[in-house]
Amino acid sequence: MFNIFIIAFYFFFLLWIGIKSSKKIRSARDYIIAGRDLGFWVFVLLIIGSTASGMTLLGVAGLGYIGGYPTFWEQIFVPLSCALTILLFGTKLHRIARKRNYLTLEDYFSDRFYSNKSMRLLSSIVVLTVSLVYLVGQYTAISIVLTWLLKISHAQALVITAVIVMSYVLLGGLYAVAFTTLVQAVMIIVGVVIVGPMIIAKAGGLTGINHTLVQIDPNLIKPFFPQMHPPYAKYAFCTPLFVISFALLLSLGLASAPHIINNVLAARRDRYFKWAPLAAFSIYLV
C-alpha cells in the first residue's frame, strides 16, 4: 500500500507540474522550446535529464555488477556526452536559432541546406527513428520498476506510464519537461548521495567489494580486461580497443541525439554555454 501511495503521489505531482506549466504557454515557441527562457541550472539539468535514462539507473547498475571496474568507463563517457552536446552543438545552434528564430533542428537543417521540404522530411524520419528506439528502452525500464513495486503486469505498467507522461508533456510542453526533469534530477542526486554510501557499507566497504571481486576474477578490479578475441568470459568485453570505440560511439553518438540537442535552443542566455559543459559533466559524473 505504501508503494502505491508513493507512486500515485509522484505521478500526480508530475501532472500538477504539467498543469502549472500550461499557464506559461502562449505560443509555439513557449511550447516547443520553453520560450527560450530556461535559467542556467534548469537548462543544465534538462540536458542531464534528457541524457539520463533507464540505462543510467538500471542498465549501468547491472553492467557494473557483471563487469566490475572496467565498466566504469561508461560512467565517464555518458557525462562527457552532455558536455559535448553543449560544446559542439549548443554554442553555435543557440546563437543562430535566436537570430533566425529556429524552434527545432529541422528548422536549422532546412535553412542551412536550402531545402525546406526534403531536409525536413529526411531529418524528421531520422529523429522519429532514433526517438522510437530510445523510448522503447525508457518505457521498458519504467515498466520493470512499476511491475516490481506495484505487482502489476508489464502492459498495465506501460499504459499507466504512457498516460502520465503524455499528459504532462501535452499540457506543458518543454516547460513541463524541464521542471519535471529538475525535480527528478534533484531526487536522483540526493538519492545517490544518501543511498550510495549505505550500499557500499552494506557490501563491506570498498575493501570488502574489492576482495570479493578478486576472488571471482582479478581482472574485475583492473581498468581493462585483457585484449583477446573472443573474450575469455562473457563479461570480459571492456578491453582497451573496445573502450576506445565505445568512447567514440557513446560520447559522440549520444551527444548528437536529437532529443538532447534540441534542448540547447531553450537556454535564456548565450553566456550559459561557458560553464554549462563543466556543470553538466560534473553533476552527471556524481
Mean pLDDT of 260-275: 90
Q: Distance (Å, rounded) from C-alpha 103 to C-alpha 97?
A: 7
Instruction: Check pLDDT > 80 for residue 204.
Output: yes
Tell me, what amino acid is at 105? L
How high is the pLDDT of residue 63? Answer: 83
How high is the pLDDT of residue 281? Answer: 92
Distances, alpha carbon 216 to alpha carbons 33, 56, 163, 209, 230, in Å: 50, 25, 44, 11, 20
How high is the pLDDT of residue 182? Answer: 86
How high is the pLDDT of residue 165? Answer: 86
Mean pLDDT of 22-47: 90
Domain ranges of the chain: 26-285
Tell me, what amino acid is at 58? L
How high is the pLDDT of residue 141? Answer: 84
- The whole-model pTM stands at 0.86
Mean pLDDT of 237-259: 87
How high is the pLDDT of residue 262? Answer: 87
Q: Percentage of the chain with pLDDT > 70?
A: 99
CB 171 within 8 Å of CB 25: no
Query: Please, which contacts does 211-216 make with residues 24 or more away whose CB atoms are closer than 8 Å?
Result: 213/68, 213/69
Quick one: pLDDT band at residue 279, thresholds 50, 70, 90? very high
Report the chain's mean pLDDT, rounded to a whole number.
Answer: 87
CB 184 within 8 Å of CB 42: no
Write the pLDDT tens digit of every residue in 145-157: 888 888 888 888 8
CB 63 within 8 Å of CB 250: no
Quick one: pLDDT band at residue 39, thresholds 50, 70, 90? very high
How high is the pLDDT of residue 84? Answer: 92
How high is the pLDDT of residue 56? Answer: 72
Write the pLDDT tens digit of every residue in 85-126: 999 888 888 999 999 998 888 888 888 888 777 888 888 888
Task: Tell the burial category of 50 from Cβ atoms under 10 Å away from its Cβ (0-12, 13-18, 19+).
Answer: buried
How high is the pLDDT of residue 116? Answer: 75
Write the pLDDT tens digit of every residue in 209-230: 889 989 998 989 999 999 988 8
How high is the pLDDT of residue 44? Answer: 92
How high is the pLDDT of residue 40? Answer: 94
The CA-to-CA distance between both ends of the chain, in Å, stands at: 32
Quick one: pLDDT band at residue 275, thresholds 50, 70, 90? very high
